[in-house]
Amino acid sequence: MIISSSTDYREAARRRLPPFLFHYIDGGANAERTLGKNVEDLSDLALRQRVLKSVGSVDISTSFFDEKVSMPVALAPVGLTGMYARRGEVQAARAAAKKGIPLTLSTVSVCPIEEVQAAVDRPIWFQLYVLRDRGFMKNALERAWAAGIRKLVFTVDMPVPGSRYRDAHSGMSGPNAPLRRMIQAVMHPTWAFDVGLFGRPHDLGNVSAYRQQKTNLADYVGWLGQNFDPSIGWQDLEWIRDFWKGPMIIKGILDPDDARDAVRFGADGIVVSNHGGRQLDGVLSSAKALPAIADAVKGDLTILADSGIRSGLDVVRMLAQGADGVMIGRAFVYALAAAGAAGVENLLDLFAKEMQVAMTLTGARSIAEISADSLVKAVAAA
């Protein structure tokens, strides 16, 4: 099929993956209202076309956390990426490094920290969940640091897992899930051979390394369910702040008061995020939440934003709303599932081209020149 956008990659991923995996990626919490609004609210922001501004060439490179990036984008942490493509985290890290941006490795990756970092020269970022098992957290941090990782993304919007109705219907969970998954795999032989057979081991690499035992998909669901910690507060993060000597980025901020708390805590950055609409359905889209957060803390720490970004235009929109950079989740995962590392590279090229068009036609020569003025105000406020 012809691929010219992340929408095309989504369709290609839908065809290639067993449904339980496609819907795990594609779905959100409950009625998926926030999932939908993330995309809609962002694409509703009207870019302000300016012409004859002698823009010339456009530079989309920038830096965050003292790291040069070819564009203000990082790949978001996505659990189980090694199920969507063969050794998926490694492929995604290679594509990101080749295109000059970081990959954030999820706590619940299939490939362990060491395997992914060894595959690329560029240091990856590591994402950690707040888990009951503090021994695991400490072990993961030590291993990340030893591998050369310095940027820690701490995800705080999952004290409990959200209700994802699609998973029960698709066979990810629910009655006869293992049997249904097996039947789906047989019906998708390209995936079954490439990933199902040759992409093994299919365990949670970081968890297995710590528990010294293999974990399968059912273990994953069980372990996650038992380990999220709703009793967590800022004070519980202090030891990590003391322990981790590199930049610490708090992911899952949606309210200006929480952003201020992150500044007080001493975070180096935040990710304005509702977890791609996978946690609390009904909360604000990131696009709508971002301006008030930027008003509250811009300049005090680095602001990244995610949830709903599907194109280079969306990157420019998030920057115009006050972000210093963005993370992309599903958009890169669809491309990875559809076409591996080459798919992610192509997607990042598409994003870069789209950013260049958007910047040229809004009169911004550099990332620093993207501002609230890049949007039509009346429409942005509507």
Contacts with ligand FMN, residue ranges (CB under 6 A): 24-25, 38, 76-79, 106-108, 127, 155, 251, 273, 275-276, 278, 306-309, 328-331
In whole angstroms, give the CA distance from residue 53 to residue 120: 40
> CB of residue 127 vs ligand FMN: minimum separation in angstroms?
5
In whole angstroms, give the CA distance from residue 375 to residue 126: 33
> CB of residue 117 vs ligand FMN: minimum separation in angstroms?
17
Helix (H) or strand (E) holding 252: strand 248-253
Amino acid at 228: F
Catalytic residue numbers, as ranges? 275
Could you tell me if 38 and 307 are in contact, meaning their C-beta atoms sit under 8 angstroms apart?
yes
Residue with the closest Cβ to ligand FMN?
A: 329
Give 289 or 363: the residue with its C-beta nearer to ligand FMN. 289
> CB of residue 129 vs ligand FMN: minimum separation in angstroms?
7
- Joined tokens for residue 222: 């069980």
Sort strands 67-69 and 269-272 into parallel, antiparallel or unpaired. Answer: unpaired
Q: What is the DSSP letter of 202?
A: -
Distances (CA, A) of 84 to 23, 229, 335, 346: 11, 27, 10, 17
Give 328 or 338: the residue with its C-beta nearer to ligand FMN. 328
Give 358 or 363: the residue with its C-beta nearer to ligand FMN. 358
End-to-end, the C-alpha distance of the chain in Å comes to 38
Give 108 or 120: the residue with its C-beta nearer to ligand FMN. 108
Cβ atoms < 10 Å from Cβ of 208: 17
Q: What is the DSSP letter of 30?
A: T
In whole angstroms, give the CA distance from residue 340 to residue 370: 32
> CB of residue 164 vs ligand FMN: minimum separation in angstroms?
10
In whole angstroms, give the CA distance from residue 154 to residue 326: 16
Task: Give residue for tokens 């790291």.
Answer: 67
Could you tell me if 184 and 44 are in contact, meaning their C-beta atoms sit under 8 angstroms apart?
no
Give 102 or 276: the residue with its C-beta nearer to ligand FMN. 276
Give 224 or 294: the residue with its C-beta nearer to ligand FMN. 224
Sort strands 62-64 and 67-69 into parallel, antiparallel or unpaired. Answer: antiparallel
Task: Give residue for tokens 């939440």.
Answer: 289
In whole angstroms, give the CA distance from residue 249 to residue 127: 9
> CB of residue 330 vs ligand FMN: minimum separation in angstroms?
3
Give 173 or 360: the residue with its C-beta nearer to ligand FMN. 173
3-state helix vs strand vs coil in the chain, percent to 5: 50, 10, 35
In whole angstroms, give the CA distance from residue 73 to residue 326: 5
> CB of residue 246 vs ligand FMN: minimum separation in angstroms?
17
> CB of residue 273 vs ligand FMN: minimum separation in angstroms?
5
